[in-house]
Amino acid sequence: MRDHHRRLSEENTLVLDKVVVALEDFPGVGWVLDIGGGGEGVVGILKGSAVVAIDRLREELEEAPQGPLKIVMDARKMGFLDGSFGQATAFFSFCYMPREDHEAIFREVYRVLRPGGEFRVWDATYPARSNAEQQYVLIPLAAELPGSRIETSYGVRWDERGRGLEHYQHLGTSQGFEITRGREPGDWAVVLPLPATVVGGRRRGLHDGAADEAAPLGR
């Protein structure tokens, strides 16, 4: 990632325990839309040319490894037609987005997914802010992919209400997704006391076998 940590210091930053996410390939039909796919471009490394990576910032896409089709685009209002994608992902992207943008992004992802398509979200969770001094959260992360390991850290503004699994589940169900992962504690990547979440959402309407058999992620 570029320098997102400039203003972070011991006094103003909550440093989370390192989150280790094991990513396995996942099956699915059609293109994979990766939301906020710049930076390390982890999903792009995993799925290569099957990925269409969008990011609001050109520099973040330029920095990400080659493989995906990269498009500068705001996820709150995407230019894709309805039902364009079989899969969508957001790998530690929502942590970087203001809470007020999340609903619009979930709505747009639902729109551009085909019925039966899946939306996988990985993110860090952290508590509500109790100390006005602490304005930032640092998320150290190791992503274990087949054949490679990526070590990074994401520095984000501390959402004073905190971020939890329920937040993403609520967003998903309110837009029409059926939550297929992350329903039970053992079903998501628990790195206590501040877990990384994996929320799998399936767009209602079609229940094809491939979607039902999607491999668990982020354990």
Ligand X SMILES: C[S@@+](CC[C@H](N)C(=O)[O-])C[C@H]1O[C@@H](n2cnc3c(N)ncnc32)[C@H](O)[C@@H]1O
Alpha helix segments (H runs only) across 3-160: 42-47, 58-63, 99-112
Number of residues that bind ligand X (CB under 6 A): 22
Is the Cβ–Cβ distance between 96 and 36 less than 8 Å? yes
User: Alpha helix (H) ranges present in 140-187?
Assistant: 165-175
Binding-site member from 8, 13, 40, 123 for ligand X (CB under 6 A) = 40
Q: Report the nearest approach of ligand X to the CB of residue 49 (Å).
A: 16
Residue number with CB closer to ligand X (8 or 116) = 8
According to the binding rule CB under 6 A, does residue 128 interact with ligand X? no
Q: Is 155 in the site for ligand X (CB under 6 A)?
A: no
Which region, judged by CB under 6 A, interacts with ligand X, from 70-78, 168-176, 180-188, 210-218?
70-78
CA distance 61 to 68: 10
x-or-dash string of contact with ligand X, 96-115, rule CB under 6 A: xx---x--------------
Of 178-207, binders to ligand X (CB under 6 A) are none
* Residue 69 sits in the site that holds ligand X (CB under 6 A): no
For residues 52 and 32, the answer to whether their CB atoms sit within 8 Å is yes
The residue within the footprint of ligand X, chosen from 85, 110, 119, 154 (CB under 6 A), is: 154
Rounded Cα–Cα distance for residues 211 and 60 (Å)? 30
Task: With beta carbons less than 8 A apart as the criterion, state whether 98 and 76 touch.
Answer: no
Q: Helices 99-112 and 165-175, interaxial angle, to 10°?
A: 40
Q: Is 39 in the site for ligand X (CB under 6 A)?
A: yes
Q: In 3D, which of 83, 71, 75 has the Cα closest to residue 102?
A: 75
158 binds ligand X (CB under 6 A): no
Query: Which residue's Cβ lies closest to ligand X?
Result: 36
Sequence-distant contacts of 179-187: CB under 8 A, at least 24 apart: 180/118, 180/214, 181/120, 181/216, 181/217, 187/216
Residue with Cβ nearer ligand X (102 or 202)? 102
Residues that bind ligand X (CB under 6 A): 36-42, 54-57, 60, 74-76, 91-93, 96-97, 101, 154
